[in-house]
Each structure stands twice: as C-alpha cells, then as structure tokens.
Amino acid sequence: MSDVAALLVQADALHLPLRDESVQCVVTSPPYFGSVRVYSEEVSSWGAPLGAEREPHDYVAHLVAVFDEVRRVLRSDGCCWLNLGDVYAASGKGGGGIRGARTTNWMRVVTERVGFRMPPAGYKQKDLTLVAFQVASALRAAGWYLRATVIWDKKRATEPKRLDRPSVGHEYLYLLSPSEHYAARDPGESWWGHSVWSVSPHNSVDHPATMPEELARRCIVASTRPGDVVLDPFNGSGTTGRVALRLGRSYVGTDISREYLAEQAVRRLDGVQMEAAL
Ligand SMILES: C[S@@+](CC[C@H](N)C(=O)[O-])C[C@H]1O[C@@H](n2cnc3c(N)ncnc32)[C@H](O)[C@@H]1O
C-alpha cells in the first residue's frame, strides 16, 4: 500500500486543482436535478447549489461545463463512470416540494427536497424529465464517447407504491470516454456480461446519497490497474476513495463541502494516510 496516495481537496468541480491528463478513471455521482439536498452552506460557481436549477437545460449545461473540466484532467485513454437518476416533473400537488423535511443528524448538513410545484417549461405535470439521459446525450454532443448505459437495479423500489405507474427502483451509470480507445476491460467477473447490475443501495446515516461500494468497485476494477489514479470530483462521504484505496489505486477526491471532506471522508478513508488540502 506504500505507493498508494490519497488527496482530498475542497473545490468546486468546475475548477479541479489537477494537471491535464493526470487521472486514469473517474467514478462519480453529482447532485441530482430537482432533488436537492443542500449539503452545506457552500454554493457552486453559479451562485446556487448544483441540482437546484429551475430548468433541466440549465442543470444539463452546468454538468456539461463540469465534465469539460473532468475531461481536461482525465488521461486520453481513461474512463468516466457517471451515476445519475431520473426525476419526474411536478404532480401539480406540490409533489417533490416537501420543504422543511429537515434532518440534523448529518453533522450540520441540512437536507431539503426542493422539487417542483409547477413543471419546468416544456414539461407537463407527471412527465418523466429524462434528465439523466439529457445529460448523457449532451456530454456525447460535447465530445465524450458515450460507450454504455448500465441500469443499476436496486433490487427494490426506492419510493412508495404508486397508483398509476410502477415505482422507481433503478438509476443509471453512463460509461464515458474522451477517446475511441480507452483502457476498460473485462475484469473476469460475471456482471461484465450484462448491462443490468443488481446492487442493493447503501443506507447511510453519514451522508444522504452514498453510493454502494460494490458499484464503485465494479467501475474501478473494469477500468484501472493497481497504482492508477482514481478521481471523484463529488467526493461526498468518500465511497469511491475508500474502494480505490482498498484496491491499491491512488485517489483524489474533491467536494465543495468542507464538512464532508474534513469530518467524514477523512475519518472514513481509514487505514490510509490522507493528505487533506483544506
Ligand atoms: C450525491 S453526493 C456524492 C455521494 C458520494 N458518491 C458518496 O458515495 O458519498 C454529491 C456531492 O457533491 C457535492 N457537491 C455539490 N456541488 C458541488 C460542486 N459544485 N463541486 C464539488 N462538489 C459538489 C456535495 O457536497 C455532495 O457531497
């Protein structure tokens, strides 16, 4: 483990403190559109939390800008795994607008679902926005190679039973590469043979949107070798980092929230000497 390094930096993902082409693989999950958890007082360069945009096209444009920056720091033979979920437009009944649903057990972190009382322009009440696919499509148009969509099957519904549609129990992983030839390969495990990955969600009291370690592990083993550098520009509780370090990869994590980096990620990236530039 001695040649494995880890670095946590407080930064807006729009301005990554890294050299061009310095990481081999990105595994990340940005805040989702319209389902804003206000993670801390820090806001992005746009003056509001990422995910709090009123219109899907603004959210898409912001993520395209972030992933332009991600592409700058990614090696030309590297891979980016982007986890996103889809979002419904308004029910018209204040759906998703449960303001005040706060919890305090995430260390001064306020969670608040913003949602919509009225649908964004161009959407009807109850429409599925397909915003995750809009992001993937916009990234492809911005120059990324969109190589795969993996359905993350959560093995159970993650919302209450609905009367007029099936309840949602899945999200997406998009495999993106900056060039035609990139270093992903069959890791020799059965899940590589099928684009639906059944992995139970992680329930965490430390962070409101923790990625399951198994999901991060699959991405990392398929697209890196020991010693390679893995980046998560939306570090959160540091799931990608924990798994990367355990697998003998180096790790860089950035997050706009100082609290997460200082109080959670550092504490939970156990066993490895962390250098935190906070
Ligand atoms: C969905 S969570 C990531 C969860 C992470 N994958 C995990 O397993 O814990 C999104 C994270 O992005 C961070 N974030 C929000 N806006 C950001 C920005 N503009 N730049 C960097 N990080 C940001 C939030 O503080 C939050 O920790």
Q: Could you tell me the domains of the chain? A: 6-277 (3.40.50.150)
Whole-structure pTM value:
0.89
**Alpha carbon of 48 to ligand 1 centroid (Å):** 14
Alpha-carbon distance of 183 to 1, in angstroms, equals 23
Classified as helix, coil or strand, 218 is helix
Alpha-carbon distance of 31 to 223, in angstroms, equals 23
**Alpha carbon of 187 to ligand 1 centroid (Å):** 28
**68-122 pLDDT per residue, tens:** 999 999 999 999 999 999 999 875 444 343 333 334 333 333 334 444 568 899 9
Q: Is the pLDDT of residue 176 over 70?
A: yes
Pocket test for ligand 1, best of 43, 152, 235 (most atoms within 8 A of CB): 235
- Nearest alpha carbon, ligand 1 atom 7: 210
Alpha-carbon distance of 21 to 73, in angstroms, equals 4
- Nearest alpha carbon, ligand 1 atom 16: 50
Contact of 25 with 220, CB cutoff 8 Å? yes
**Alpha carbon of 275 to ligand 1 centroid (Å):** 19
Q: Is the CB of 13 under 6 A from ligand 1?
A: yes
Pocket test for ligand 1, best of 37, 59, 234 (most atoms within 8 A of CB): 234
**213-244 pLDDT per residue, tens:** 999 999 999 999 999 999 999 999 899 999 99
Alpha-carbon distance of 108 to 48, in angstroms, equals 18
Looking only at the bridges linking them, the beta strands covering 229-232 and 250-255 are parallel
Query: Any bridge partners for residue 10, and if so which?
Result: 255
**177-196 pLDDT per residue, tens:** 999 999 999 999 999 999 99
Closest CA to 182 of 70, 76, 36: 76
More confident of the two residues 278 and 133 = 133
**20-48 pLDDT per residue, tens:** 999 999 999 999 998 655 555 566 777 77
Q: Is the CB of 234 under 6 A from ligand 1?
A: yes
Q: Is the CB of 50 under 6 A from ligand 1?
A: yes
- Segment 55-63 shows an average pLDDT of 96
**Alpha carbon of 236 to ligand 1 centroid (Å):** 5
Residues 6 or more apart in contact with residue 248 via CB below 8 angstroms: 1, 4, 226, 227
Tokens of 56: 């899907």
Closest CA to 85 of 135, 23, 146: 135
User: What's the pLDDT score for residue 111?
Assistant: 37
Q: Is the CB of 210 under 6 A from ligand 1?
A: yes
Looking only at the bridges linking them, the beta strands covering 6-10 and 74-84 are unpaired
HSE (side-chain half, CA atoms, 13 Å) at 33: 28
Angle 213-223/239-246 helices, nearest 10 degrees?
50
**Cα first-last separation, the chain:** 24
Closest CA to 120 of 98, 93, 88: 88
